[in-house]
Each structure stands twice: as structure tokens, then as C-alpha cells.
Amino acid sequence: MSTKIDGKQVAATIKADLAERVNTLKAQGVVPGLGTLLVGEDPGSMKYVAGKHADCQEVGITSVKKELPADASFGQIAEAVRELNDDPACTGFIVQLPLPKGVDENAIINMIDPAKDADGMHPYNLGELVLHVRADIATPLPCTPRGVLELLDAYNIDLEGKEVCVLGRGITIGRTIGLLLTRNAVNATVTLCHTGTRDVADHMRRADVIIAAMGSAGFVTPDKIKEGTVLVDVGVSRVFDEEAGRYRIKGDVDKACYDKAYAYTPNPGGVGPMTRAMLLANVVEMAERSSR
């Protein structure tokens, strides 16, 4: 029997712990606050930001919301970032991507105070992650990669010496999770596959763990994995369900793989809830560091 790795359940446990830590901080006069900057009215982005603030309410974190119209200029967006940097009620914040066409997203991200980078994606914080192979890291970590490791750890899946195949080289996880997996504390061996990889299936069949983050629905099929593989599905695709007459979210891993796997994360309900929980964890840890 393969094991279903329940991200919702693990995230709920983490949030319960965070709620206790938030209460401790408040008793010390420190109130953690998560800020969000939303530009435009993209339905997916609006729903995602609303979910983050619902999570904040659940654990007692203050919400700091900034919204700008879709035609906001680079200067207006930059000014909103500076305001969040300077706002004492905002412990950490995120700029919801994508930004409107023509706005340099990297330039905006670079303007975030690294100490308030709730996503852990500021170049300074990524650089700290690169540098600290052995020592503890005292800067925010990227939420999705951190969520994957926390999820596997919750199910006692040891990655020491394991061959991990990462599918996709996006900045959200593909290019960053290897930095966490190859730290001494984890000690995995990582192969990163992308569109330039000659025989992706060969790498997949040799892997003990596959982390799929391509956004290609059902790409990982039973013939491409070995028996007992751990499957982590991070990919998100909207696929039209003709029977239901509506779009559904599908992951990169074909469900037919589940019986062959040692363990798997469902999608949705696997890594997604953990990403949101890690965002809260980053904010609480920032507050804890500031209170010392």
C-alpha cells in the first residue's frame, strides 16, 4: 500500500503550533503582520491573496493589504513596496505575481527589504541559502521548497543519500529546492531536468524521489518510475473536464502512478497547503528574530 501524504493535515498541525507562538509574541508586545501587494484583478491572484489573509486570521497574524489597479505604473508599485518596508505593522510581505505586462518583476522584488521578504525569494536571501551549506540559516527560506521538505519530514521520509529528480527549472521551486536538498542536513543527490534534458524518462526511472514542477498535466506516468518511488507533485495545470463541463486543477503526476509509489502527494491537497503554511512560518520567525 502506498502512503498518501496529506498536506492539509500537516499544514493544520503547523498552523496550530504557529498560533501558540503568535500568542507568546503578543504577550511580549510583538504582533506579527503579513503584508500583501496585489496589482490588478486577476481572479487567481485575488483568490490566492484572500486565502493568505484567511490563514493569517486563523493563527492570529495581522493582515496588511495594499491593492493597486492593473494600470499602476512602475513608480506607483515601487512606492507601495517602500511603504510596506517602512510599515512597523508589517513584519513581512509578498508582492503577488504576476505583475502587469511591462513591469520589471525582478526590479520590484529587489526593492523588498530582505528582512521582510516573506516569500524568501529576494536575491540576498537566496544568496544566504547558497552560502550556508552546513550552518543554520537565519534568513527566510523559499516557501514551496521548504514546504516540500517539511511535508516529507512529517512522514519520516529520509532523503539522506537519495537520488532526487526535479522536473522543471522555475524559480518558485525547480531552481531553489536543490539548494535545500543538498545541504548537509538533508544530504540528497539532485538531478534537475528541463526542456534541454535529453532523456528525462531515464533520469526519472533511476530516481528514489521525483519532484514534479513542470505544469504539464499527467507527465509522470507509471512507465517512467520505478517501484517504490516517492512522488511529490507541485505542478498545476487547468484542464477542461468535458464530463463536468468545467476546468479542473491537475498535477504533473498521473494518478495511475500512485499504486506503484512508496508515497505520494495528492494535487490539490499536497504541497499547496504547505506553501501557505510556510509563508506564515516565515512571518512568525521574522517576528521572533525581531523580539530577541
Which residues participate in the annotated binding site for NADP(+)? 168-170, 236
According to DSSP, the residues that pair with 93 across neighbouring strands are 35, 117
Could you give the angle at the alpha carbon of 41 between the alpha carbons of 35 and 44, nearest 5°? 80
- Catalytic residue status for 250: no
Rounded CA separation 292/288 (Å): 7
Rounded CA separation 221/253 (Å): 7
The catalytic position among 96, 224, 252, 254 is 96
DSSP 44: H
Please report the beta strands in the chain, taking only residues with DSSP state E, as ranges in sequence order. 3-4, 33-39, 62-68, 92-95, 163-167, 189-193, 209-212, 230-233, 237-241, 246-250, 263-264
| Residues 287 and 30 sit within 8 Å (Cβ to Cβ) | yes
- Catalytic residue status for 252: no
Which residues participate in the annotated binding site? 168-170, 236
- Catalytic residue status for 96: yes
Going by C-alpha positions, the residue among 97, 91, 94 that lies closest to residue 52 is 94
The catalytic position among 52, 66, 116, 224 is 52
Rounded CA separation 140/214 (Å): 24
Going by C-alpha positions, the residue among 68, 64, 112, 114 that lies closest to residue 89 is 64
Whole-angstrom Cα Rg for the chain? 19
The catalytic position among 119, 208, 252, 254 is 119
Mention every residue, 6+ apart, whose C-beta is less than 8 A from residue 193.
Answer: 165, 166, 167, 168, 200, 203, 204
Enzyme catalytic residues: 52, 96, 119
